[in-house]
Amino acid sequence: MPPAIMGKSAVFLDRDDTLIENVPYLGDPNKVKLIPGASSAIAELRRSKLPLIIISNQSGVGRGLITKEQVRSVDARMEELLGGGKIFTHYGHCYAAPGDPYDDRRKPSPKMLQEAATTFGLNLKESFMVGNRLSDVQAGQAAGCQTILLNLRVPPEELEASVQIASFTAQDWSSAKDWILEQLTKAK
């Protein structure tokens, strides 16, 4: 475990329609487009020295529609657009399609968050899960994190339930980032 982040807070992030625009089963890095406000918010969160961890269901791999290598190339392009370098501490991708015998890690399961917390010595109760889907909020809640619903591109049928259980509903990336930093300041 890297001693610099033992017991620290972290920010867990969904990828599609949270950081980048969702293109179903995206395997082409040339089609990666950032969600408005994501770049500046991620830059500010990085300055706060918080570990940033991607938690993403990528069922296209399990369905045979894209490869793990394509997922990694999309991730690399996203990091490049967000400023380059190693931005994210870890990528937790579940490649299983729904119903696969290995789908017990798929969000809304908290397993990917729990695995990352164990690997990096993170405190889930002092961490945050940011996403635009009910399954993101449910995964974060089940892991014991504070949850932020990024109210951009939330499926209409999931909005009410997501708002009800999220710790905070952000209308844009700026308010999501500000809320996270405010909560960290209060905790000190």
Note the pLDDT tens digit of each residue in 62-79.
Answer: 999 999 999 999 999 999
Residue that the structure tokens 């969160």 belong to: 45
Give residue-wise pLDDT tens across range 18-46: 999 999 999 999 999 999 999 999 999 99
| Mean predicted confidence (pLDDT) in 118-147 | 97
Ordered alpha helix ranges (H), 108-148: 111-120, 134-143
Sketch the domain layout of the chain as residue ranges.
Answer: 3-124+133-187
Dihedral of CA 119/120/123/128: which sign? negative
**Number of Cβ atoms within 10 Å of the Cβ of 89:** 18
Active site residues: 14, 16
Taking the C-alpha atoms of residue 50 and residue 47, their distance in angstroms, rounded to an integer, is 8
Token pair listed for 99 = 């119903």
pLDDT range class, residue 156, cuts 50, 70, 90: very high
Neighbour-count burial of 34, counting CB atoms closer than 10 A to its CB (0-12 exposed, 13-18 middle, 19+ buried): middle
Q: Count how many Cα atoms sit within 13 Å of the Cα of residue 145 in the half-sphere of its side chain.
A: 34
Q: Answer for the pair 133, 150: CB distance below 8 angstroms, yes or no.
A: no
Report the mean per-residue pLDDT for the chain. 94
Q: Model-level pTM?
A: 0.94
How would CATH label the architecture of 3-124+133-187? 3-Layer(aba) Sandwich (3.40)
